[in-house]
Every structure is written in structure tokens, then in C-alpha cells.
Amino acid sequence: MRISATALPGGRAAWGVAMQSELGHIKNDHEALRWACGCLRTSALESFRAGTLLDFRLVRWSIALWAMYRATDDLCNTCLVLSYKFPHLWLPPIFAHCVHGDDYQQLIPLFNATAGWEVAVCLLSGALYLLAIVSLLRRSCYAAAFFLPALALNFGLWLYELGKPLYAQLFSLGDFAQEALVYLTTALLSWILWRGARSPQPAHRQSNPRH
């Protein structure tokens, strides 16, 4: 109940106290637990509506971790393709070893079919995710401005690759479903960031020159 009371946006603090005090009058433990869970749902809902979910460090760090996963995926894919196409370039040996002689062999046709602009787009989206991470951890309102374009580039590239016959040959329906779930999750997180950017900043944050 303390968590749900503190999770409410500032203007709803009195309601948090009201929900908490009501709990003190419920004698049945099972009902009290259900009451408390409902209050937690209320807090999350109101926080989301007010766009204040980003005020919580756990939320910011979770989104930052997810962005790091996406950035790593993009940058590793870029390095894989580049290390295959340009073996004379010095790139971390791990990428070269990944290309030679193990199951990355099956991806070689895909590497051959990957155009330079696709590599550039992948690199750009990875860089945007990294910028989003920095903005998010600095509690800057520009995190959404980096995260959303990164998602758009990523998703657009994925749709383009889906159109390649090679994709259907190399990847299963399960792989497709997994990728779709990743994009859905990323879209949800970008929505949270976008709402957070749209919500009015509290006075103490407005005076901070970083924002």
C-alpha cells in the first residue's frame, strides 16, 4: 500500500492516503490483499495517465536496459556484416570467428544480400538507442526523440527484410514471432517515453538546466 500511495502522481496523493486508510478497516486478510492489489493497479494506471512513470528509477533503468539490448543487437549485426564483407578491416576477432565455420555460415547468403544502406540504417538506429539511453539516465525529455526514430528505423528495416525470400528460408515462424514480440515491447516502451515527454514537467525539474 505504501508503494501504491507513493506511486500516485502528486495531485493524487490524498487519494493514496484514502486508499491506504480504507485498508485498515478490512478485517479479512484475503480481501485486504485484493484491495491492496487493486490500489496498486490504480496507482499504476494514474501514473501512466499522468505520464509520470518515468519518475521511477526502476522504470527508467528498465527502458534503458531494453534500449541497450536493442543497440547491442543493431551494432553486433552491423559488425557481423562488415566483418564478413570487409575482412581486411580490423574488427574485433569475435565477429570474424562467428562468421567462419559455425551456424553463422547459414547467414552468409543474407550478408551477401545486405546492401550498404541497410548497414548504415542499422548503425544509425543503434547509435540512436545509445543516445536514448544517455538521455533517459540523465532524465532528459529528449529520450523519446532518440528512441522513437530508432524504433522506426529498426522496424522499417525489419519489414523490408521480411520481403526478401531469403528471410523465409533462413528463419522460422518462431523467429518471426520472437522478433514481432520484441518490436511490440519496444513500441510499448516508446509509448511510455512519448507520454512522459508530453506530460508537464514538475517545477523542480523545470528549473534544472539539463531539461
Partner 1 sequence: MPRTVNASRQTRDLLSTFLKDPKAWRHGYELSKETGLKSGTLYPILMRLSDQGLLESRWRDAEEPGRPPRHIYRLTIRGAAFARRLASESDTQLVYDMTRRVKA
Distance in angstroms between the alpha carbons of the first and the last residue of the chain = 32
Q: What is the per-residue binding string for partner 1 in 37-76, x denoting contact by CB under 8 A?
A: xxxxxx--xx------------------------------
Write down the least CB distance from residue 36 to partner 1, Å: 8
Q: Is 12 in the site for partner 1 (CB under 8 A)?
A: yes
Write down the least CB distance from residue 27 to partner 1, Å: 10
Which residue of 5, 19, 81, 157 would you call a contact of partner 1, by CB under 8 A? 19
Residue 202 and residue 130 in contact, taking contact as beta carbons nearer than 8 Å: no
User: Nearer to partner 1 by C-beta: 17 or 152?
Assistant: 17
Q: Is 18 in the site for partner 1 (CB under 8 A)?
A: yes
Provide the grid cell at 103. 551456424
Closest CA to 84 of 70, 102, 97: 97
Q: Is 33 in the site for partner 1 (CB under 8 A)?
A: no
Cα(149)–Cα(22) distance, integer angstroms: 45
Q: Is 25 in the site for partner 1 (CB under 8 A)?
A: yes
- In SS3 terms, 28-51 reads as CHHHHHHHHHHHHHHHHHHHHHHC
- 10 Å CB burial of residue 127 (0-12, 13-18, 19+) is middle
Residues lying near partner 1 in the complex (CB under 8 A) are found at 12, 14-15, 17-22, 24-26, 34-35, 37-42, 45-46
